[in-house]
Structure 1
């Protein structure tokens, strides 16, 4: 039994029908593919790192800078469009993103050097910055809070699936047709997806559902019809953004998610090179290890969703069902990364690498469902967008820092980068365990 088996609390005037259920899962499936394409776009540079550096004559620092350029406007656009998502239908925002990110890659697919590469990545980052929070907002609008763990996790799973599909397919394209052909391929897939979204996309009946008002709401009442253990209903829409982002829960979820995104940025840009240059894997071996890392990440996301749903149904506080599970996964990842540079080459190194880079990804889903539980319906887009803007600064920092370490220390630079990653995960896990408590902070926001 999953959290989707529990009867939802449907907003007034909304009825659950087979057709609405099918539509909910159709939209969810489309948005899973949306995130797959999104991360396939991001992964091209990492998969073709050596080919691009050789073709354009780039140092590791220059390549790290070009990769970080993707995040130059990523955070700003994530916050801005997240706020717009509370006023403009997410359907059209998502369509605009898909069209723009495909168009931004066209010049790079045709030709150009470092300037074109950086410009293309900056524009791509601006188009993709809001993708995750807005996709989550659109998906979760089809489900009440106590049924959101699974669909929210599936959107995160789209990230994993995108890498799992992109790694072998784009590696083959790069090796046989060149890295620019790989860029053209992902851009074309984005255009095809946009055409499908126009026909099938949309928001669900919970897009504007708010918590009840009055004494029950101020006391943190659960939605009528929700099971015991379902998260507390979010506060009324009078809560301003500044109060939401000042809660310990928002700060804890954002700090924890920052650690996850640091690992994601490392994995997207430098993991293939780390495997090849520092650990001695062949190109085929590196691709297999990348797939193992993201595969474990997908298992962790689904496992977290199932366990969280079960705990919530049994009456566990969201502090432990979400923050506790996410924090523990981050701490296990931290321990693996801190041990990795000192492990002997072989199976142990592979296990530590897969665990250290794979488990932290589950915090993406935890952070989103936690903030969605905390924020009122008409503040969710902004709350998620601001969180995403803060979190994705990790994408600006990690690739550039790692590039400098590699230029300065050679292969040892990767070892230092892994140790830094372990320290970031350690702090992130501690924040999740000590700060996240949506029930407490939702009650305070309702006062």
Structure 2
């Protein structure tokens, strides 16, 4: 792996607020934030569709006769294709652009979601779940790429927290929406309805998303602000055209990339406990009925939204104060990931309200870090043409945890008579490992040296 010499000079501090370009003011000069909101909508639908199964699974299990071990495999089937397809998705986004590839991915996952409402057995359910994973692979690297092109460096973390909160909102909406649809109609109706929501977003995306150079409503002032702040624009790519080529496979030679992969693996293992097993935990371990689940089950996801925004605001504020990118990223990543280990303390809390409070704190701490995680690909990309590729590589590793986590949790539950003690302790331990990774494996957060 390629590393920098320890004798090299320390990373310079980021520009202070006084040296930053003036922020455009007034109506019609915040088009970039509309792009962030558009990406937020895409990820919200993305996570709504993937979370529908977790919420509907208790009802589906009776109809399709699915046991705990089989449930774990069904939940993990999504992540096999989702993780593997991260790698080509990132490369395709860098080659063909955000607008086209994100739209194709959304069409794919919407069709797969509708298909899950038509399954007749475990085999077809697993197949539809794997197709869903393949289509949703563009959902993470696409917004990361879009933000790198639309935002200056000192606004990127907050912008990333905006679209990344689509994950929390989509997951939170899934609980009341899907439980309502299942209770009022049938679990099949829930899948079909959620799939059709994706079609509405696709129409909006295709009509509204443009690159900065082509956007009809982007003012000259705002475009100059974006470019002066270090966005990865077409002009940046043209300037880098004569630089030595960094092949996709060469990205794996860097220690920083492996640190990004391992850190996000640990962080996502815990996040996907909330996405996959959290509803079942509330029902089986804490005795929630369907109505109580739909109401209180949204609390951690809603708290996590504020955690993500706080993480984005804090990081960008520190950058504007002149902190180096390395110092800012490590502060947010290590503190948030370490604090999320409180998930392990739920095993000694006797009340459901106390456990829900700790779980909410854990989830919010994780999302405090995710805004910085989403910013790492643009921070370390050797050229503008590597941002989505690095985002895909990072997310590939994180979703290996999505494959292993539900399976491991399912087997631990089966072997312990349904107790969640060991699964929660494992999640807490991995939070600590993730914090140590961001602290010591990743050295400097800066563009990877071109060899």
CA gap 1:287/1:415 in 2 versus in 1, 3 angstroms: farther
Q: Report how far residue 164 of structure 1 moved.
A: 2.4
Partner residue in 1 for 2:68: 60
Q: Residue 118 of structure 1 aligns with which residue?
A: 126
Match of 2:208 in 1: 200
Is structure 2 residue 417 aligned with structure 1 residue 418?
Answer: no
Q: In the alignment, does 2:162 pair up with 1:158?
A: no
Task: Kindly provide the CA deviation profile for residues 267-305 of structure 1, in whole angstroms up to 9, marking residues without a partner as x.
Answer: 111101111101222323333343111112111111011
For 1:114-153, list aligned pairs within 5 A: 114-153=122-161
Tell me which residue corresponds to 1:79. Answer: 87
Q: 1:325 aligns with which of 327, 332, 344?
A: 332
Match of 2:359 in 1: 353
- Counterpart residue number, 1:90: 98
SS of match in other structure, 1:268: helix
Question: Residue 141 of structure 2 contacts residue 388 of structure 2 at CA under 8 Å; is this kept in 1?
Answer: yes
Partners of 2:30 and 2:302 lie apart in 1 by 27
Deviation, 1:188, is 0.4
Distance, in Å, in 1 between the alignment partners of 2:42 and 2:29 is 20
Instruction: State the match for 2:440 in structure 1.
Output: 434
Cα distance between partner residues in 2 of 1:40 and 1:421: 23
Partner of 1:39: 47
Distance in 1 (CA, whole Å) between partners of 2:314 and 2:279 is 32
In the alignment, which residue of structure 1 is the partner of 2:313? 306
Shift of 1:17: 9.5
Call closer, same or farther: CA 1:371–1:384 in 2, change over 3 Å: same
Question: Whole-Å Cα distance in 1 between the matches of residues 200 and 302 of structure 2?
Answer: 26
Contact 2:68–2:414 (CA under 8 A) maintained in structure 1: yes
In structure 2, what is the Cα distance between the partners aligned to 1:6 and 1:151?
21
Note the aligned Cα RMSD (angstroms).
2.9
Offset of residue 411 of structure 1: 2.4
Q: Give the match for residue 262 of structure 1.
A: 269
Aligned mate of 1:253, from 236, 248, 260 = 260
- Which residue of the partner structure matches residue 373 of structure 1? 379
Tell whether the 8 Å contact from 2:175 to 2:293 is kept in structure 1 after alignment: no
Distance change (3 Å), C-alpha of 1:110 and 1:243: closer
Q: Does the aligned pair in 2 maintain the 1:138–1:204 contact within 8 Å?
A: no
Q: What does 1:163-312 align with in structure 2 at a 5 Å threshold?
A: 163-205=171-213, 238=244, 239-312=246-319
Asked if the contact 1:256/1:327 (under 8 Å) is kept, the reply is no
Residues 341-371 of structure 1 deviation map (CA, whole Å, 9 limit, x = unaligned): 1223254322222222332123322112122
SS in 1 for 2:95: coil
Please give the secondary structure, in 2, of the residue aligned with 1:424: helix
Structure-2 separation of matches of 1:301 and 1:90: 23
Paired residues of 1:78 and 1:389 also in contact (CA < 8 A): yes
Q: How much does 1:125 deviate?
A: 0.2
Question: Any stretches of 5+ residues in structure 2 without a counterpart?
Answer: 1-14, 216-225, 231-235
When the two structures are superposed, what TM-score results if normalisation uses the length of structure 1? 0.86
| Residue 407 (structure 2) pairs with residue 400 (structure 1) | yes
Checking the alignment, whether the CA contact within 8 Å between 1:272 and 1:287 is kept in structure 2 is: no
